Amino acid sequence: MKVLITGAAGQLGTALQGSAPAEAQITAIDVAECDLTDSSALRELIVELQPDILLNAAAYTAVDRAESEEELAQAINANAVATMVSAIDECGGRLVHVSTDFVFDGEASRAYQAGDQRNPISAYGRTKAAGEDALRPSDILVRTAWVYAAGGANFVRTMVRLMRERDELGVVADQIGAPTWASSLAKVLWGLVDTKAEGVFHYSDAGVASWYDFAVAIAEEAHDLGLIERIPTIRPLTTEDYPTPAKRPKFSLLDSRSTHSQIGTEPVHWRTNLRLMLKEEQSLG
């Protein structure tokens, strides 16, 4: 099985390479090998490599900056996906594409299911929804949320740094979802490939949290592991207390039940995976 992974240097791309099955012949690329805004070069590379599976872990993810760079976000999150679909169709392969909870408006009263209506409220969300629209029914679309990994640029590592520097910090407490460890997401993606899945799936780690809840857990786990010397005071903030250029969904919990059913796995709580990630972070020094 020939597999092309985009976004190779990112959190998910790295995790996908680290958990790849033995039979996968991996080619992993990042912007140095191919600029996704160059549709001709992207198409030429895919046609040349002739992958059976294209795992697209690349994305424009600067949510706030996308408000002023929507054209660039569109090029990477939507136009490049359309190019991938066209090229992989010519090769006879399939695309596995990763999207986001930001395609929803956050007004639901239950966890979002794969078939729920989208209504993005940010430029980032709009461009990711447009990328979804480029896919074929035979492709795999996985929406996820709040992704983090050891060594990456993410909320967990930012919090650990700030907790070392400050005695007090404020974190938004009225945006609800669930964190996702990149390693667990990568295993799910490989599971969907292995079971020859098609269509739309949701995945985040089990449980529910606000960003404030997540920060409190990070403090407790990081302190237990000796990554921070003391637990700082963490104040809950409202979204209005912490205004940002992009609007964010207030509630974006994803229903992962059908995904677990498809690949035969049991949910793992986000705090369990947070602890594993922080142990990896500890080992990195």
Active site residues: 124
Residue pair 227/284 in contact (Cβ under 8 Å)? The answer is no
In angstroms, rounded to a whole number, what is the distance separating the alpha carbons of residues 190 and 193? 5
| DSSP H or E segment with residue 100 | strand 94-100
In angstroms, rounded to a whole number, what is the distance separating the alpha carbons of residues 146 and 100? 9
In the chain, alpha helices (H): 11-18, 39-49, 70-74, 80-91, 123-133, 155-165, 182-194, 211-224, 257-263, 270-284
Residue 147 tokens read as 């992704």
Closest CA to 140 of 201, 59, 60, 90: 201
Residue 20 tokens read as 């790849």
Residue pair 43/26 in contact (Cβ under 8 Å)? The answer is no
